[in-house]
Chains A and B, each alone.
Chain A
């Protein structure tokens, strides 16, 4: 019997400080055993449990993309025991990763359709994974228009800045970057919260369009009516939820919202599905 609690062994290969406050770092991992990479076969939208012996395990969305080979990337906000410990670890350190876990954005359903991606704060991680996947030459032609609205508190808090600049220049994706406020006099993008910028910039919804939303609860709350106004049906709006987790595989009973388990039946749900739950997240 395979033990689903046993992590793959990985080594930290690179650490990138993402934000001006140093609280967000991207960790790049490589598998100690090459064949584990094949077993860790994931789709954009899934998460994994990062496992630090002596400290514990934390569920983190996978920020690298299935089309990027040879490594995994996670962007981690320094918050409590395990994340703080991870922030103090060094390139070369050994730890574990269990996964991939949960469901993902339904890429086959999205084929031939327009996709609107709305993200706020550091929840942008799996959205980065998704965008890289969509823009891959082997995939781009399968999908319609792609629009991205991404916001952070300040310019210095935006993740993946180099990639954002690159996407900005492309004509096969419309990127609308925004910040709550800017101290940068040369800031040439939007200023304002994600919901109003979405209302202003995002295309109309309809039967040929889907929206993916990831962000803090407050952003999700105010983005929902905007999307409704734009004509996105509840079953065309996909959200990725978070709850406190332990096992990540539907066993420990911790992450339930009604009869759904966020770790196994989610984390990705349509708004229609979420509306049927008690929304205990």
Chain B
């Protein structure tokens, strides 16, 4: 695989060239936080960021997206007929996505790309996008990617992996899409035979000190975990705000709603959350997950057990730590994961285990 060197002096020039061939998306600082946004013509992506509060999942899965439009005006020939909304699926590139977030999209893809059905909205945006990752040399204290199936230099789901190397960036071109992007940007200097990337990878991995154990999860009985006493402790403080699901790169649940203004309407979809009671309530008023305990349990069981059993591809969590940092009551998936993983052995108290 080709590794190229991009002199930081040439960075802006390459980006200018890319603005012609691609739509550019990258981290943008808004007040004190970075978010992933479309970069207007000429803007240079700022790669001097730590992690974003929201994951970049909206790049392929917008928080709210129009699906169809229609007219309710009976005098029109096409009244009450749904029509596809015109979409822009021209090539786009996202700069600065973290390896953990790219891996998260690979996990989510298993949900949207199945043998029976393909979700056109998610997949079209995904296919149109070239993912240029930024390796992570200074992780947060809450990052536990290396034991969650990914890592600071992980390549899965990326087309290019970039790393900061002082005056230059090193960029590993991982796919044809990645090669094409480098060509369009005019980045062609070979980095030569160097093991700088490998050394940086080892150093970065060593900095991730927070871990989870997951090896015993698949062997546990799902119903025994479900019925375990520890959910009372785990869920006690949760206020069902849904923050954890909104910031999570691997959460994909959505709602579909019709919105009407006058005689014209839209069918759209929006992110939804299993943390909200309304998510599952039947029209009869019956709610299979009416209590907070049931909903908190659903989130963790889905990520750490049901998903593991269904796909045999590890946990539905990439260790980005966002939910840990942003939960207002400090519910920590690492502790819950340990509790589940060691369930049945002596230590099962979520509050005390570490």
CA distance A93 to B223 in the complex (A): 47
Q: Which residues of A contact B281 (CB under 8 A)?
A: 244
| Structural contact, A3 and B84, CB atoms closer than 8 A | yes
B114: which of A53, A250, A259 is its contact (CB, 8 Å)? A250
| Structural contact, A95 and B80, CB atoms closer than 8 A | yes
Interface string of B247-286 (1 = CB under 8 A from A): 0000011111110100001010100101000011111101
Interface string of A1-25 (1 = CB under 8 A from B): 1111111010000000000000000
The answer to whether the Cβ of A242 comes within 8 Å of any Cβ in the partner chain is: yes
A252: which of B79, B82, B254 is its contact (CB, 8 Å)? B254
Interface string of B61-86 (1 = CB under 8 A from A): 00000011010100000011110100
CA distance A93 to B68 in the complex (A): 19
| Structural contact, A254 and B80, CB atoms closer than 8 A | no
Given contacts A53-B258, A242-B282, A253 and B265 within 8 Å (CB-CB) = no
CA distance A188 to B10 in the complex (A): 91
Q: Which residues of A contact B82 (CB under 8 A)?
A: 6-7, 51, 53, 96
List 16 contacting pairs A-B, 8 Å CB cutoff, sorted by A: A1-B118, A2-B118, A4-B119, A9-B81, A54-B260, A54-B265, A56-B258, A93-B80, A244-B282, A244-B283, A251-B112, A251-B254, A252-B256, A252-B272, A278-B301, A280-B298
The answer to whether the Cβ of A142 comes within 8 Å of any Cβ in the partner chain is: no
Chain B, range 271-309, C-beta contacts under 8 Å to A: 272, 274, 279-284, 286, 288-289, 294, 298, 301-302, 306-307, 309
B80: which of A1, A3, A5, A53 is its contact (CB, 8 Å)? A53
Q: Which residues of B contact A253 (CB under 8 A)?
A: 111, 252-254, 272, 274, 302
The answer to whether the Cβ of A266 comes within 8 Å of any Cβ in the partner chain is: no
| Structural contact, A54 and B223, CB atoms closer than 8 A | no
Known: A251-B119, A254-B279. 5 other contacts (CB 8 A): A4-B120, A53-B258, A54-B258, A249-B117, A256-B306
Q: Which residues of B contact A217 (CB under 8 A)?
A: 286
| Structural contact, A54 and B72, CB atoms closer than 8 A | yes
| Structural contact, B309 and A94, CB atoms closer than 8 A | no
Q: Which residues of B contact A83 (CB under 8 A)?
A: 283
The answer to whether the Cβ of A264 comes within 8 Å of any Cβ in the partner chain is: yes
Given contacts A242-B282, A250-B116, A280-B294, A94 and B223 within 8 Å (CB-CB) = no
Contacts from B to A (Cβ < 8 Å): 67-68, 70, 72, 79-82, 84, 111-112, 114, 116-120, 123-124, 222-223, 226, 252-258, 260, 265, 267, 269, 272, 274, 279-284, 286, 288-289, 294, 298, 301-302, 306-307, 309-310
CA distance A21 to B199 in the complex (A): 76
Q: Which residues of B contact A9 (CB under 8 A)?
A: 81
Closest Cβ neighbor of B287 among chain A residues: A244
| Structural contact, A280 and B289, CB atoms closer than 8 A | yes
CA distance A259 to B305 in the complex (A): 8
| Chain A interface size range | 35 or more
| Structural contact, B256 and A247, CB atoms closer than 8 A | yes
| Structural contact, A6 and B252, CB atoms closer than 8 A | no
| Structural contact, B118 and A250, CB atoms closer than 8 A | no
Q: Which residues of A contact B254 (CB under 8 A)?
A: 246-247, 251-253
CA distance A54 to B260 in the complex (A): 6
CA distance A247 to B70 in the complex (A): 19
Q: Which residues of A contact B112 (CB under 8 A)?
A: 251
CA distance A258 to B280 in the complex (A): 14
Q: Which residues of A contact B307 (CB under 8 A)?
A: 259
Q: Which residues of B contact A281 (CB under 8 A)?
A: 288
Q: Which residues of B contact A55 (CB under 8 A)?
A: 258
| Structural contact, B84 and A6, CB atoms closer than 8 A | yes
B309: which of A95, A252, A257, A259 is its contact (CB, 8 Å)? A259
CA distance A254 to B278 in the complex (A): 10
The answer to whether the Cβ of A161 comes within 8 Å of any Cβ in the partner chain is: no
Closest Cβ neighbor of B72 among chain A residues: A54
CA distance A258 to B281 in the complex (A): 17
The answer to whether the Cβ of A243 comes within 8 Å of any Cβ in the partner chain is: yes
Closest Cβ neighbor of B222 among chain A residues: A258
| Structural contact, B256 and A1, CB atoms closer than 8 A | no
The answer to whether the Cβ of A276 comes within 8 Å of any Cβ in the partner chain is: yes
Q: Which residues of A contact B119 (CB under 8 A)?
A: 4, 251
CA distance A6 to B119 in the complex (A): 11
The answer to whether the Cβ of A57 comes within 8 Å of any Cβ in the partner chain is: yes
| Structural contact, B280 and A244, CB atoms closer than 8 A | yes
Q: Which residues of A contact B309 (CB under 8 A)?
A: 259
Closest beta carbon of chain A to B294's beta carbon, Å: 7
